[in-house]
Amino acid sequence: MARKTPGLNTASSADIAFLLLTFFLLTSSINTEQGIPRRLPPPKDPNVKEEQVDINKRNVLTVRVNFNDAIMVNSEIININELKDVAKNFLANPTNDPDLPMKESKDIEGIGDFAVSKGVISLTNDQSTTYNMYVQVQNELQRAINELRDQTSMNYFGKKYDNLDTALQKSIQKAIPANISEAKSKDYGGN
């Protein structure tokens, strides 16, 4: 006669599995996705009358993305590969061109007297702009700022921006602010 194989006692297996699961959930870190950091306007108060603010046109770089994902910078169509360099040149204004943004001298801790650009990049997308193009444009604008921050960081501290301590990074952020304003999506209808 054949021998019976003894059964395994699995009563405590569920308890052990639960304890292991709890342990790993409590000790592991969960990466959270971060959004694109942008400064949004405060909500409008219907009781407060809006003031008309005069903005010098030379301080604004207008970037529009139409329904065909074509990029227009100050009414001139450009390629996505050119956007970073255009934005970088606009914000840096290395030759003090009178058509590019003005600079304001500020005393920044750790840097000293620094000419900070008053330039603002105004981004507007068509309602039919693809998400892929939207992200590409955001990436190119952020790359322009990151490269300017790296250059400034190398000039003043001999290290790239990411390798600086928090206090020095804040100084670089004051010197090279990320002034990107995103307007509400519009329907350009092919313009």
Query: Which of these, 87, 99, 96, 98, lies nearest to 176 by C-alpha position?
Result: 87
Residue 7: per-residue pLDDT: 74
pLDDT digit string, tens, across residues 121-134: 988 888 888 889 98
> Would the pLDDT of 191 be above 50?
no
Residue 87: per-residue pLDDT: 92
Query: Rounded to an integer, what distance in angstroms lies between the CA atom of residue 31 and that of residue 3?
Result: 53
Contacting residues for 54 by C-beta, under 8 A, at least 6 apart: none
> Would the pLDDT of 106 be above 80?
yes
Residue 33: per-residue pLDDT: 62
